[in-house]
Amino acid sequence: MRKSIVVLIAVFILPMLNVSMAQEIARTLYVMNGLGQTLSKMNLETLEIMNDIVVVGDIPNRVYARDDKIYVVTSTPPGITIIDGRTAEVINTIALAEGSNPWDMAFVGTDKAYVTNLLANSVTVVDLATGDSINTIEVGKGPEGILVVNNTAYVANTGGFPDYAPSTVSVIDIRDDSVTKTLDVPMNPQDFTVAPDGNIHVVCTGNYGDVSGKVVVINPFGDTDFTPLVVDTVEIGGSPGDIVVTTDAVAYLADFGDGNNGFVYAYDALNLEVFNVASNPLLVGNGATALLFDAATNGLYVSNFSDDAVQLLDASNGTVISTFGFGDGAQMLAILEPISDSDPWADIVVSFTPGAGAGFGQNFFPDNVLGPPDPDQALTEFNPSSKPQELLSLGQGGGIVLEFTDNFIVDGEGVDFTVFENVFFFSGSTVPFIEAAFVAVSMDGENWVEFPWDTTTFEGFAGVTPTFDNQNPTDPNVSGGDSFDLADVGLPYAKYVKLTDIGDLKKEGPFNGDFDLDAVVAVNSMSGQPTSVEENPTLQPKAFTLSPNYPNPFNPGTTIAFAVPTISRVQIKIFNLKGQLIRTLVEQDYPAGKHSTLWDGKDDNARNVASGIYLYEMKAGDVREARRLTLVR
């Protein structure tokens, strides 16, 4: 999730950039100090805190972490400060319109962001790569919080101080920057979150006096025309200003408090049962301002503005676990995920040729295919990812080539890499919703070997198996997705993976569409460049082996893989069940390593043989081994 692209007509060609990374960066919590006008950070592995590491502006409002960068939205001076996550140095400052009072931001593309402008009643569309303001979207009065879900942005229009009227939510189609609907909501909407059922929860603060806080629930498809609709209200009380939902579907809200304590409220985000409201709040540090749910640890962070601190709560019950001191006016929070010299994900999109019907996800391309599979912990094999931020539709017959640059896939123990697509099961069914693609690999990007496939069983294709555990994508025993073994195609390593939607070759199902790529993940890999794979003893076979042919049954051809631990004379022959020789496939010397050969269903005279069961036998050294295969005409 790092590189930029150059678009040439219908084929997208990307620069092959090797990124030199100087250091490993641990998972880090960033804290924006509103009064100190600085950022602080805490190493989430060691809990080491470094305060006031960089100055960010006179009135900072929001902080976000994305890839290897930190973004801070400032009202004064109006703009976005971009900070390098490795060095904590400011690498760019994007100026926005004077007097606009930028408040919040959301990413709506690889290099595209929306920024809400409290005093300008608008959203600025910003090109983060160039720093240009490329469009302005007129919304309601006093916009503050913003949330992007799939291709839709929701903007909280507070109505403006002191009347907070009208209080609305603007709905924007991020594909063309157009407002498609405006929803009336209770007084002073501030922020949003998404519940596990896909509904949008909006915290409406009230007027900090006689009108108390509420949460309204928006169903994104609730209206008769399948557009967003307010469908429910939760009475909270107090003056909550921020909201999050945990993976256990508990919604938490932060209330600045009474001068002695901050308050946290809680309710069930699915059935809307309230647990803690203004009459029985959870007590936290003074000046509770912002919440951040950490799905990786099931921790809930709350900033205490008046105490210059951040507290860690147990997200299962809201109890305080730890308190950490930060800078002056600890306010907003963000977590930067680890930055590593080498990771198991594909690094570069070499080319993308869209097929018919492609388009979904292209506003987030190539970031949405470079990185891990969608990490949302709410996803299951029945509830797959559907985010353009995480998926790219290849279109019918479309293709994409990915390269690994900081490491490469090697033929190791078991499968060697996994392709993730948003395959899923319908509720109560064990038949997957398949959107298949051919898979090919290459050592040099020029010479390709395609994995054998079978349109009857869908073996050998990607886009067949759902994702079962997106938190462990490098463990094929639990991850799901479609895994591939380089031994099946006889390669010792691969730097390139090519995926091609199968088009009209096979109708996967009555409702199935085109292949939607989420991620390609190396299971067995080595860092650096593949110059010494052949000499590496850890990658060499320890014994003579003859692998099951693939596919089996087959028509018209099947691959037979074998391995030799030392240079050896190898014979591989095909026999019928009567013991009669049908074909000599291999009779030559092979170096130590893993190899393969193809049988095309013909005899030594190039004549097609009949359907049936055949034997294939390997002789090498003192080893003689045979297996069965089935040809189906």
Q: Would you state the pLDDT for residue 575?
A: 95
| Residue (of 385, 188, 190) closest to 291 by Cα position | 190
**Residue 373 and residue 343 in contact, taking contact as beta carbons nearer than 8 Å:** no
Q: Would you state the pLDDT for residue 512?
A: 57
Cα angle 17, 18, 19 (rounded to 5 degrees) comes to 110
Residues of the chain with pLDDT under 70: 1-23, 504-513, 530-540
Residues 591-622: pLDDT tens digits? 888 788 889 999 999 999 999 999 999 999 88
- Tokens of residue 494, six digits: 């691969």
Instruction: Kindly tell me the sign of the dihedral angle through the C-alpha atoms of 366, 367, 372, 377.
Output: negative
- The DSSP output letter for 19 is P
Instruction: List alpha helices for 83-197, DSSP H.
Output: none
Q: Would you state the pLDDT for residue 540?
A: 65
Q: How far apart are CA 494 and CA 481, in angstroms?
A: 19
**What beta strand segments (E) does 444-495 contain?**
448-450, 482-484, 493-494
Q: Would you state the pLDDT for residue 9?
A: 32
**Residue 138 and residue 179 in contact, taking contact as beta carbons nearer than 8 Å:** yes
Q: Name the 3-class secondary structure at 357.
A: coil
Ramachandran angles phi, psi of 538, nearest 5°:
-70, -15
Q: How far apart are CA 472 and CA 333, in angstroms?
A: 26
- The DSSP output letter for 452 is P
Q: Would you state the pLDDT for residue 533?
A: 46
Q: How far apart are CA 180 and CA 191, in angstroms?
A: 19
Q: Would you state the pLDDT for residue 507?
A: 58
Q: How far apart are CA 624 and CA 546, in angstroms?
A: 9
Domains of the chain, CATH where assigned: 342-532 (2.60.120.260), 545-631 (2.60.40.4070)
What's the gap between Cα 593 and its chain centre? 35
Q: Would you state the pLDDT for residue 203?
A: 98
